[in-house]
Structure 1
Amino acid sequence: MTEQARVTLEVAAGIARLTFDHPRRMNAITGAMWRALPGLLDQVADDPAIRVLLLQGAGERAFCTGNDISEFEAIRADAAQSAAYNAWQRDVAARMAALEKPAIAAIHGHCLGAGLELALQCDLRFASPEARMGVPAVRLGLPYRLEDIAKLVDVIGLAQTRLMVLTGRSFAGAELERMGLVTALLPDRAAMLDAAEEAAAEIAAAAPLALRAAKAALFEIARRDAPPDLARAQALADACYDSRDYAEGRAARREARPPRFTGR
């Protein structure tokens, strides 16, 4: 039976789990998977029951090894085809950047190229000792696009980005923490998944409007295409002060009980 390459989305307890499911190719992203991702991310953005997004890879070997190069002869063989292919990727990147809900990457095994790009767009990244992160584009004769290099620079700085991009090396273990590529390196895969799930559950229990305001502020601070939109960030912060959730948070603190936030 031929393995189906797909991206799945499961939602439970406020957490949307998006899984790259193509184990035979170490969860490499096919053209069909790229085209499916915008709709799934729109579902995450539009569903008020979803509080946080958790990205992960199926199987035991990889988070995501980037684009499925076995398709390149058919759909990315020259500049014209690459422009269309890159448009799919940019569409996904734009949706990830605009997502007003926190995102977490649970990284086990290889996390390369476009897989690394998606992980870098997450707010938190938890890794197992088997995690290996890198940008092999120069070893494939591919350019690593300016906007993707910019994501790396934002996370690990220019000097480390030069090392990663110009050599095509992958990095693992303590180097991931030293370089700032991961939020935390856990002792094994089970501990990594537990840490990612725990963080997702904590975020899912938080006030959605406060999370939205925080995400907007982080987006405006990091944006490169325009000056920070301070008015937008302030408007979303002000909405928190006028919300029922803020009143609920104060009441819960007075009454020494967990808050019940509704996003209103």
Structure 2
Amino acid sequence: MPVTLDVDDRSVATLLLDRPRKRNALDREMLESLLDATGRLAGRTDVRAVVVRGAGGTFCAGADIGDWVAPSAPLAAELSKLGRDAFAAVAALDVPSVALIEGTAIGGGFELALACDLRIAAGDALIGFPELRLGNLPAWGGLARLIDVAGLGTARHLLLTGELIDGVRAAALGAVTAVAADGDLSAELSRVVDCFTACEPAALALAKQVLSGFDSDLPLEPAMASYTAGLDSSRRRKQDFLDRQAARKIGVSS
């Protein structure tokens, strides 16, 4: 399975994005696997916290561009809904969740991190929304969640410029909640988990319900993302991206 679920002896569950050769890019199978794994977590009384992380030294490089080069309108809408449903399931977990960000968390990867309650990033991690450079818009609820955690000004900057920022700057802007500038993510994660496990589980679950009442929503986001995915200019940009990726691989192997 491209997303695995493990629960350790501290009652901490880990959702591992396990597609390292693609930098954990999210294709249909991975989104379905994430939705399935999150569904198996829902309602479990033996889990106190959830960690979402990526295999191979990177969190998630975003949506698999191959799925979005030339999707039909129904397929684009279907993929938008699948991603939104999967990330909404992460956000709706009764227990607190933490995204452990190293490498990259861009595009859909950043949206997944934003679906978690907290985000711990390495200082040199790259974070942002480069979708406009590929002719697309975020599709999976991340823009509204970024507005919630970092404000409209930060959301405007990251979306409209497509700039990728490091973990230190992301923490300064409020896009991540903690940064491990020395790269020791495990120590910061352990500290946060200790805070979670010191709390009363029922009170934590109720606190999450209370806070969910303040969540923003951008109802036009999936429709606009599906529309832009079908534009010829958008398809050309994504195909050009894939062509450049392929050329780099040939250059490395020759």
What TM-score comes out, normalization by structure 1 length? 0.77
Q: Which stretch shifts more, 5-14 or 132-141?
A: 5-14
CA separation in 2, counterparts of 1:171 and 1:81?
Answer: 31
Q: Which amino acid aligns with 2:23?
A: M
The one-letter amino acid paired with 1:56 is R
User: Which residue does the alignment assign to 2:125?
Assistant: 131
Unpaired runs of at least 5, structure 2: 219-254
| AA aligned opposite 2:7 | V
Alpha-carbon deviation of 1:188?
2.7
Separation in structure 2 between the aligned mates of residue 18 and residue 188 of structure 1, nearest angstrom:
24
Q: Distance in 2 between matches of 1:25 and 1:82?
A: 21
Residue equivalent to 2:6: 10
Aligned equivalent of 1:155 = 149
CA shift digits 1:113-140 (9 cap, x unpaired) = 1111111121211111221101111111
**Structure 1 residues 166 and 146: CA distance shift in structure 2, 3 A:** farther
> Residue 213 of structure 2 aligns to which amino acid in structure 1?
E
Q: Which residue of 2 aligns with 1:41?
A: 38
Residue 245 (structure 1) aligns with = none
User: Match for 2:86 among 78, 86, 92?
Assistant: 92
Residue among 144, 148, 170 paired with 1:176 = 170
The answer to which structure, 1 or 2, has the higher relative contact order (CA under 8 A, 6+ apart) is 2
- Among 51, 56, 70, the alignment partner of 2:53 is 56
In structure 2, do the counterparts of structure 1 residues 45 and 178 end up closer, same or farther at CA, with 3 Å as the change threshold? same
* Amino acid across the alignment from 2:153: A
* 1:80 counterpart = 2:70: no
Quote the Cα distance in structure 1 between the aligned partners of 2:214 and 2:67: 37
Shift of 1:204: 3.1
Task: Kindly provide the amino acid, as one letter, of the partner of residue 15 in structure 1.
Answer: V
Which amino acid is 2:146 matched to?
A: L
Structure 1 portions without partners, runs of 5+: 226-264
Secondary structure (helix, strand or coil) at the match of 2:56 reads coil
Secondary structure class of the residue paired with 1:59: helix
Question: Is 1:195 equivalent to 2:188 in the alignment?
Answer: yes
Question: Which segment is superposed worse, 161-170 or 171-180?
Answer: 171-180
- Mapped partners of 1:22, 1:52: distance in 2: 23
> 1:15–1:204: 8 Å Cα contact kept in structure 2?
no
- Taking structure 2 as the reference length, what is the TM-score of the superposition? 0.79
Supply the distance in 2 between the matched residues of 1:168 and 1:137 (Cα, whole angstroms): 7
1:57-90 Cα distance to aligned partner (Å, 9 max, x none)? 1112x111111113335xx623221011112112
Alignment map for 1:102-141 (pairs within 5 Å):
102-141=96-135
Aligned length: 217
- Structure 1 counterpart of 2:174, one-letter code: G
**How far apart are residue 221 of structure 1 and its match?**
2.7
Deviations 1:131-183 (A, max 9, x none): 11011111111122484321111111111111110111111143112111111
**For 1:176, what is the secondary structure of its paired residue?**
helix
Spell out, residue by residue over 1:187-206, the C-alpha distance to the aligned partner (whole angstroms, 9 max, x if none): 233x2122113312431343
Change (3 A) 1:115 1:146: closer
The answer (yes or no) to whether the contact 2:124–2:168 under 8 Å persists in 1 is no
* Cα contact 2:144–2:216 (8 A) shared by 1: no
Aligned with 1:105: secondary structure?
strand
The aligned counterpart of 2:137 is 143
Tell me which of 67, 71, 96 is aligned to 1:71: 67
Residue identity (%): 35
Which letter maps to 2:3? V
